[in-house]
Structure 1
Amino acid sequence: MKATQIAQQLFKSLQLQLHSRSVISVHGRDSAKFLNGLCTQTIPTPQDGGRYAAILSPPGRMLYDTFIYPTSADCFYLDVDSRVSAGVVALCNKYKLRSKVKVEGVEGVGVYWKDEGGVGEQEQEQEQEHHQIASIASMIDPRAPGMGRRILAESRDARDARDEHSAHSTHPEYSRRRYSLGVPEGIDDLWPEKSLPLESNIDYMNGVNFRKGCYVGQELTIRTQHTGVVRKRILPITLQRRQNEGDTPTPPPMTNIYAQLPSLKTPKQVGKLCGTLPNPDGSISGIALLRLEMLVRAPDGLFIRGDSGNDPHWHVQARIPEWWPNDPKLDGVLREAEMGDQTQ
């Protein structure tokens, strides 16, 4: 089979261009050292493949999530939320000081998602062998099993394949996959200057190396990992309208989530909504930042209400993703909540 035919076949298997993501180039002899001081994950070599990471503020809160693709020892591509790509470039230029680094947006290159579920082993090996012919860089998404492959490719080449297979190439499919797995992405889910990396599951999603050297904002993250307890995390949720409430508008990100606890006369605010996506059956899939103890104390008592208290309510059903790693601290939080309820 000719190389051009292999390239065409690969592009035909691309399911979606992620227009919500943009590409930034960081290159120069100091680029790896520079990025190591900026990101929560160790910067990969071309032999390592790509990695997922976060960029934090000096106090240790989330600024941006990013995928890092090395193309050589001193050249990297960053895949970031399109709405903040200019901010990422500005931040990098602020921190580079005298480093021999150039940071700039990349035009004409898109981020693509390929769902590798159901791909045969032989076909997958062939694509892995030849993907460099058709793409600039690619990686298996390390955040959670089932998140597929991310590919950087020239937009003009991949656009034809995307249009040809547009019936199977929609943003909802990618978002639904993320939400079903509880994977946050972009500023709707990871709120700049507000979200904390461990509450956002950056550690569970292979985005933090707790053994690497210094980077901006590391102190709070490292201290929490070694001496603290994470009591809130982003979880996959389903929203259901209460009966006879018609077409209630979907609540926006950062809407408060409440719990009705037997020990309290009034509902308690226990979390905030992140991104959402309507389902054909009228329910809403999404993710939310929630207090973990509520999975025990109020598993069926979570809801969203309007500011006036008279607006229609949504039932909120949350769950722990199956792919989460075994975490004794998480188990401890849930046991503590269960024991607390038994003593009341």
Structure 2
Amino acid sequence: MTTTEPLTLFTGSTGNFDDRTQILVRGPEAETFLQSIFTADLISLETGILRASALLSPQGKIQFDFLISRVEDGFRIDLAKEGSEVFAKRLTLYRLRAKAEIIVLNESIIRLSWKTDSSSSESDSIADENYQSVRDERFPEEVNVLRHYAESGSASPATPAERDAWAALRIHYGIAEGGADFIMNDVFPHDINLEQFSGVSFKKGCFVGQEVVSRMQHRGTARRRILQVTAQANLPASDTPITAGGKEVGTLRSVNGSNALALVRIDRVKDAMDKNIPLLAGATEVSMTIPAYAKFTFPEGAAD
């Protein structure tokens, strides 16, 4: 994959991201039910806005990551198709007697668009086709990243170039995605910066895994994070270890030419930077930065 400028990659909207699907949760108690198990605050979620969230294990690790938005009488959950049936069964387990219906839309359509010279006209044409469009709040408002949903119908699949364009955009803004950037049941929400853009609420009360995640937040013990990586040459493939002085500090994840995301130990990265020890992805020297949206900083003190 070559390096590309993510805001001018293509005109209009993508084809269908057919590796993702939609689940609707509708009913008079849908909000109360989901609010009690998901990491994000749904009460504050406005219509037309898409919010990142997760369902955790009781030990606080991410079992499923997804995007959630409001629909009439409930919510739409946008998640990876692989594992979606298991996710729906998990929701059914947690539902108990809550008055909420869980509907898996296996033939649904998910298209994306973001700001280009002609994006407003393309968004209008999508709206005419009875798609519901919502803005992804993880990205700056001026970039206007939209996801366009239809519950059924037909659409050409997203092309490889369009998928590369989406990866480039995520890397440019430091946004991790399950599968590409982390493995389920392996990371805490803090590891992928989920709490940095309203993906975790520490004020709403209990949710599955809340005690562990809240403890990490209040003690400031998060050490693994998603950082942005740049190099003077094309980077090696995803999963390449990143080392400093022969010791591993993390792993490359999504890669787009000379730019990438990495899941790293930020204390070890800071230690290497303080000692002027080169950070290497394979044999390629890299630099790392904290995404612009993040409120965390590199920790002080020696790495363990």
Report the TM-score, using the length of structure 1 for normalisation: 0.72
2:250 partner letter: G
Please tell me the residue identity of whatever aligns with 2:278. Answer: G
Matching residue of 2:64 = 64
Q: Which moved more, 1:61-70 or 1:19-28?
A: 19-28
Equivalent-residue separation in structure 2 for 1:104 and 1:147 (angstroms): 28
Superimposed CA distance per residue, residues 222-270 of structure 1 (whole angstroms, 9 cap, x where no aligned partner): 122122232221012246779xxxxx9x5443x532211xxxxxx2221
Alignment partner of 1:317 is 2:291: no
Q: Could you tell me which residue of structure 2 aligns to residue 18 of structure 1?
A: 17
Which range moved further: 290-299 or 88-97? 290-299
Which has the higher mean CA deviation after the structures are superposed, 292-301 or 85-94?
A: 292-301
Alignment of 1:295-314 (within 5 A): 295-299=269-273, 301-305=278-282, 313-314=283-284
CA RMSD of aligned residues (A): 3.2
Alignment of 1:25-104 (within 5 A): 25-44=24-43, 47=47, 49-72=49-72, 74-104=73-103
Shift of 1:298: 2.7
Cα 1:47–1:32 shift into 2, 3 Å: same
Match of 1:268 in 2: 247
Q: Which has the higher helix share?
A: 1
Tell which deviates more after alignment, 189-198 or 94-103: 94-103
Q: Give percent identity, aligned residues only.
A: 26
Give SS of 2:168's match.
helix
Question: Alignment partner of 2:31: what SS?
Answer: helix
Q: Does 1:175 align with 2:181?
A: no
Q: Do 1:64 and 1:187's aligned partners in 2 also have CA atoms closer than 8 Å?
A: no
**Corresponding position: 1:259 with 2:244:** yes
Tell me if structure 1 keeps the 8 A contact 2:47–2:71.
no
**What is the aligned counterpart of 1:289 among 263, 285, 291?**
263
Q: TM-score, normalised by structure 2?
A: 0.81
Specify the SS of the correspondent of 1:86.
helix
For the 8 Å contact 1:135–1:154, the answer to whether it is kept is no
Task: Give per-residue Cα distances to partners, 1:263-296, cap 9 Å, x unaligned.
Answer: xxxx22211232334x3xxx4x321111223444
Compute the displacement of 1:95 (Å).
1.4
- Matched with 1:236 is 228
| SS of corresponding position for 1:17 | coil
Q: Is the 1:239–1:314 Cα contact (8 Å) retained in structure 2?
A: yes
Aligned length: 287
The offset of 1:195, in angstroms, is 0.6
Question: In structure 1, what is the Cα distance between the partners aligned to 2:131 and 2:22?
Answer: 11
- C-alpha separation between the residues in 1 aligned to 2:168 and 2:48? 29
1:135, 1:151 within 8 Å by CA — same for their partners in 2? no
Partner Cα distance (1:268, 1:33) in 2: 47
Point out where structure 1 has 5 or more consecutive residues left out of the alignment. 1-11, 243-247, 261-266, 306-312
C-alpha distance in 2 between matches for 1:147 and 1:52:
16
| Aligned residue in 1 for 2:7 | none
Choose from 135, 140, 161 the match for 1:140.
135
Q: Which has the larger radius of gyration?
A: 1
In 2, the alpha carbon distance for the partners of 1:119 and 1:325 equals 30
Q: Which amino acid aligns with 1:276?
A: V
Query: Displacement of 1:87 after TM fit?
Result: 2.1
How many Å apart are 1:113 and its aligned residue? Answer: 1.0
5+ residue gaps in structure 2?
1-10
